[in-house]
Amino acid sequence: MKKWIAIVLVAMMALALVACGGKGAKGEGIVGTWKLADGEGEAQQAVQMILAMGGTMTFTFNEDGTGHMKMDVMGQQQDQNFNYTIENNQIVIDGAGADYKLDGDKLTIQVEGMAMIFDRQ
């Protein structure tokens, strides 16, 4: 049961990033499409389970500060546009901020201690 709760928490964390209204601006280095590849810490087991069950999540960040998130986890599909900015070492997606780290073709987004790792596509 704990695993299912963790899966739901990871999915909800991603949805929280695109839930509100916000502003847009260029994000150097982050422009492109990113696909969920792994997790760190508390999120690692849940992300690996999502991926093992065929779940997918992608973020696309455009140069103009707009983006798109597409997710399919356990039959729950989400397809949503958003605006983003890069502010104070955070990516702010539609008003919700998250710490991020860009390391080559790996993007790590961390929200409330849960980190998701995305690969550049």
Per-residue pLDDT band at 26 (split at 50, 70, 90): very low
Number of domains in the chain: 1
The residue among 5 and 63 whose pLDDT is bigger is 63
The answer to whether the CB of 116 falls within 8 A of the CB of 107 is no
pTM (two decimals):
0.78
The answer to whether the CB of 109 falls within 8 A of the CB of 41 is no
Residues found in the chain = 121
Mean pLDDT computed over 14-23: 47
What pLDDT, on a 0 to 100 scale, did the predictor assign at position 16?
A: 54
- By percentage, how much of the chain surpasses pLDDT 90? 46
Euclidean distance between CA atoms 76 and 109, whole angstroms? 21
Tokens of residue 118, six digits: 């995305």
What pLDDT, on a 0 to 100 scale, did the predictor assign at position 107?
A: 94
CATH number, domain of 73, equals: 2.40.128.50
Q: Is the pLDDT of residue 109 over 70?
A: yes
| Domain of 12, in residue numbers | 2-120
Compute the 3-state secondary structure of the chain and give helix, strand, coil in percent, each to the nearest 5: 20, 50, 30
pLDDT tens digits along 60-99: 999 999 999 999 988 888 899 999 998 888 889 888 888 9
